[in-house]
Amino acid sequence: MKDTYSDGKAGNDSISTAPVLELMNVSKEYRKGTRRLLALKDLSLTVNGGEFVTILGQSGCGKTTLLHMIAGLEEPTAGEIRVGGKPIRGPGRDRGLVFQEPRLFPWATVAHNISLGLPDRGRDQRKLEELLELVGLEDFAQAYPKELSGGMAQRAALARALAGSPRILLLDEPLGALDAVTRLRMQVQLMRIWQENSLTVVAVTHDIDEAIVLSTRIVILSPRPGTVKRVIPVELPYPRNRTAPEFNIYRQELLGALE
């Protein structure tokens, strides 16, 4: 496969070989009373700077748990997570997370919500305006989350996650709840933001097409306990054409790997 598409150019020029994120034998076990549930087992993965890595797996394979652990919201039971070579301790500005739902504070305006992601909490208005522009919400700065459509709310959440200028952007199915058209448009915007800001992205999804459209690499997790089953580099040039025969080959390979 690799040979067929080796002419495929990576979308992000700043891909480097230095690992930005390292997961080393990470396991996560939940305990409820006497019951134990192993969500992730011995998961190892290295993500280089500028990559767009998508983690694909069936629901319940611990994808969200994995992302929350990288974000620092949860701790692994065993193993270590390193960012830029250093083990992480809780949340930090070097990582920005977009949840499955927008999770904007309903009592705050869009501008205020985004400013809470900024290190200076929006004292410097210019940075805030830049972010609003980046996600196309300039005209909705003073709107409340209730007044936004699903796509707009998710864009505001994306701006909040980007506000801390993270090295790694973590996306937990942020497009999952959107309608098909909005979803396609958001994918294009996400691509642009990733490429223009030399970000490293780790996304989680169960949507095969979305994974192929966006990713430089796709990591397939096995069902519970989640562990890396296969890693598939996507060597197609950006922007990717869903109707191309090459696209279909990836589609079939991923479908097969997921079974």
Partner 1 sequence: MKRGVRGLAAPLLIILLWWLGAESGVGPGILPHPREVLAALADLAARGELQAHIRISLLRVIQGFFLAAGLAIPAGILAAGFSPFAEYILPLLGFLRQVPPVAWIPVLIMVLGIGEATKLAVIAYAAFFPIFVNAVLGITQIDHHFWEVARLLEFSPKEYLRELILPAAAPSLIAGLRLGMSNSWRALVAAEMLAAFSGLGYMLMAARSLVRMDEMFIGIAVIGLLGLAIDWGWKLLEGYVLRWQSRE
The least distance separating partner 1 from the CB of residue 141, rounded to whole angstroms, comes to 14
The least distance separating partner 1 from the CB of residue 73, rounded to whole angstroms, comes to 6
The least distance separating partner 1 from the CB of residue 117, rounded to whole angstroms, comes to 6
Residue numbers of the site for partner 1 (CB under 8 A)?
Answer: 71-73, 90-93, 97, 99, 101, 103, 105-108, 116-117, 121, 144, 146-147, 160, 164
- Taking the C-alpha atoms of residue 121 and residue 137, their distance in angstroms, rounded to an integer, is 18
- When the beta carbons of 167 and 240 are compared against partner 1, the nearer one is 167
Other residues' Cβ atoms within 10 Å of the Cβ of residue 125:
10
- When the beta carbons of 66 and 220 are compared against partner 1, the nearer one is 66
Pairing verdict, β 217-221 and 52-56: parallel
The least distance separating partner 1 from the CB of residue 107, rounded to whole angstroms, comes to 4
Give the Å distances, CA to CA, from 202 to 13, 55, 167, 218: 17, 7, 11, 10
- When the beta carbons of 86 and 121 are compared against partner 1, the nearer one is 121
- When the beta carbons of 94 and 253 are compared against partner 1, the nearer one is 94
Q: How many CA atoms lie within 13 A of 184 on its CB side?
A: 6
- Taking the C-alpha atoms of residue 62 and residue 211, their distance in angstroms, rounded to an integer, is 17
